[in-house]
Structure 1
């Protein structure tokens, strides 16, 4: 049975600017992408539609089911769950703080703890623990902890014997450090770390606080990335070799509407911070379509802070948004805009037929507990 599952899976696997004010969507005639189809995946009493930690490989969507302590495998074309891999919570092979994962192959599935890499599990598709991660000392802004990003926006990924990962600062000193380094790799055979010291914030973002400190990156090779800071209107194509920077190409990806970030103070009140998040442009996940040689970049559009007292909206679920589509050479092809209230664009992904947008916004009237639906947008 396991060998059959292996064959099935192996085949399937083979923010801010100075412009404020509400941005309404009135012209939908020039949308670059159009709705192609919808995909509905079933949920059982041990799963939830909160597909926040996931990895998409070919036709297979793999989801970390944290409440059930499992990895759930779905076929996008057949719209069904095809396998569930339990993860032990207790005992000698237990891992009680599920955080993120990386499916490298049916024989190498990495399950990571939060703030740690050491003792994270390496499993096979049968659920057998084949190894644990061991490493030497890592230099962090908080001793003993490794704040590895690991989300679908900047996933941990194995290349050869090296596990590549991004980190985020854990302390105020780390946030303010203009030389904070984000990119590292771990040789899982030797336990040695390597840091890519030419990867840090662009110079104009250094030595300041911003409403959004996050980034999204796509790993193309051991020393090649697309890097996108959520408050910058520019995407960087970075290449290195043997720990040295070869080139860093800045590609403006703002759809012809440049956005200039404005720094904030460290003691900014939460209400004012939320207001700025709501009223400002910011960017999100970039999606690389290698087949069509294009990049789709998520951008959140300004809106107003609700006047009703006591409301604390999530800015990134309350704002209209768009995808800006570019060629790899930086030519702007067009945009596709969406009204807030239906999708959660933070966890969209590029699948076999286009951009899969999950209809899991808390404001969506059709939200259900027995399935999760993705609307798929592609070229007309």
Structure 2
């Protein structure tokens, strides 16, 4: 369970609060992963998979076009296979992976999902997939999907459940939330896609303009085969069945959250940066199937300095906390 690495470095806010929990109650161990000459230092896309009876940290190495598997007990590199870039079965422009089991390793491609690959543990290509989309509109063929640790893809019963990131402009359109489609489902046997049109953004998003990242959501699949969704800019978390019909909404608020500034006017880049950095928000949700717990990460607000050099990783300078909830969503 890789999240223990992140928990071990959890920052504290300047205004410590009485409900904080010592990280050692949850930390099992930490891990140093040694790098070799072909390793990638950017762990943008990774997953945890069980192979030969042991859990492995599996990295999509975009620098050397490989899948690298590390032993979670000692950090050693145990296996590496190339993702083909040429020949009869190339898998190009990779953007995510999913470990279903040791012989079902999905490597996803960007936007068109063109020829994404299913590999076994030795790198043999089991199948290649490209969705059949019967539409004359080129926009319908594009899927700005995510398969990252924060916004993962799930496999269940021959279906891949993807999160769909927007290619529209939430910074300037107050009606964005009404039309945003947040999920799509890929049917592997048919190589076809359906968009989940009925999954709506929370009601407190309505009529708002927002930073791009606030339009994202993190989801988890629990043991009851429910999807639990945490929107970046909502204090609540939402429980859905496998067809994304809403079952319940639960307050999963950080005690450091002061709510969200509701803007309706077009946002400049500077104002978008200010809103992102200066508001406590929720970039990740994890379900721990070992302890039957949820971990909801919160980026804690800090003062915005207009003279600071801002980039897409600036929120990583914010302190963060982890909200722990039991399987019934009681805050522990």
Q: Under TM normalisation by the shorter chain, which class is it?
A: 0.7 to 0.9
How far does the alpha carbon of each residue in 1:157-196 deviate from its partner, in whole angstroms, 9 at most, with x for none? 2222222212122123898151332222222112333343
Q: Tell me the CA shift for residue 220 of structure 1.
A: 3.8
Q: Tell me the CA shift for residue 36 of structure 1.
A: 4.7
CA pair 326-63 structure 1, distance change in 2 beyond 3 A: same
Partner Cα separation in structure 2 for residue 287 and residue 223 of structure 1:
14
Structure 1 runs not aligned, ≥5 long: 1-21, 334-380
CA contact (8 A) 2:155 2:161 kept: yes
Q: Does 1:318 find its partner at 2:311? A: no
Partner Cα separation in structure 2 for residue 33 and residue 23 of structure 1:
14
Q: Does 1:118 find its partner at 2:120? A: no
CA pair 29-263 structure 1, distance change in 2 beyond 3 A: closer
State the secondary structure of the residue aligned to 2:114: coil
State the secondary structure of the residue aligned to 2:230: strand
Q: Does 1:32 find its partner at 2:22? A: yes
Partner Cα separation in structure 2 for residue 41 and residue 177 of structure 1:
41
Q: Tell me the CA shift for residue 315 of structure 1.
A: 3.1
State the secondary structure of the residue aligned to 1:104: strand
Q: Does 1:130 find its partner at 2:120? A: no
CA contact (8 A) 2:207 2:264 kept: no
How far does the alpha carbon of each residue in 1:21-77 deviate from its partner, in whole angstroms, 9 at most, with x for none? x95144699533225532111101111322110001252110111001001000111
Alignment-derived partner of residue 199 in structure 1:
199
Question: 141, 145, 153: which is aligned to 2:150?
Answer: 153
State the secondary structure of the residue aligned to 1:38: coil
More relative contact order, 1 or 2 (CA 8 Å, 6+ apart): 1
What TM-score, normalized to structure 2? 0.83
CA pair 258-270 structure 1, distance change in 2 beyond 3 A: closer
Partner Cα separation in structure 2 for residue 83 and residue 233 of structure 1:
41
Q: Does 1:163 find its partner at 2:180? A: no
Q: Tell me the CA shift for residue 250 of structure 1.
A: 1.0
Supply the RMSD in Å over aligned alpha carbons. Answer: 2.8
Q: Tell me the CA shift for residue 323 of structure 1.
A: 0.5
CA pair 283-29 structure 1, distance change in 2 beyond 3 A: closer
Alignment-derived partner of residue 9 in structure 2:
none
CA contact (8 A) 2:235 2:254 kept: no
How far does the alpha carbon of each residue in 1:247-281 deviate from its partner, in whole angstroms, 9 at most, with x for none? 42111111445542223356322222222222111
CA contact (8 A) 1:70 1:85 kept: yes
CA pair 124-251 structure 1, distance change in 2 beyond 3 A: same
Alignment-derived partner of residue 218 in structure 1:
220
Partner Cα separation in structure 2 for residue 99 and residue 63 of structure 1:
12
What TM-score, normalized to structure 1? 0.73
CA contact (8 A) 1:141 1:170 kept: no
Question: 56, 65, 68: which is aligned to 2:64?
Answer: 68
Partner Cα separation in structure 2 for residue 284 and residue 244 of structure 1:
20
CA pair 302-113 structure 1, distance change in 2 beyond 3 A: same
Question: 207, 227, 230: which is aligned to 1:228?
Answer: 230
State the secondary structure of the residue aligned to 1:204: helix
Q: Tell me the CA shift for residue 216 of structure 1.
A: 0.2
Structure with greater proportional strand content: 1
Higher alpha-carbon deviation: 211-220 or 34-43: 34-43
Residue pairs, 1:278-289, within 5 angstroms: 278-289=277-288
Structure 2 runs not aligned, ≥5 long: 1-11
CA pair 296-106 structure 1, distance change in 2 beyond 3 A: closer
Alignment-derived partner of residue 179 in structure 2:
179
CA contact (8 A) 1:103 1:110 kept: yes
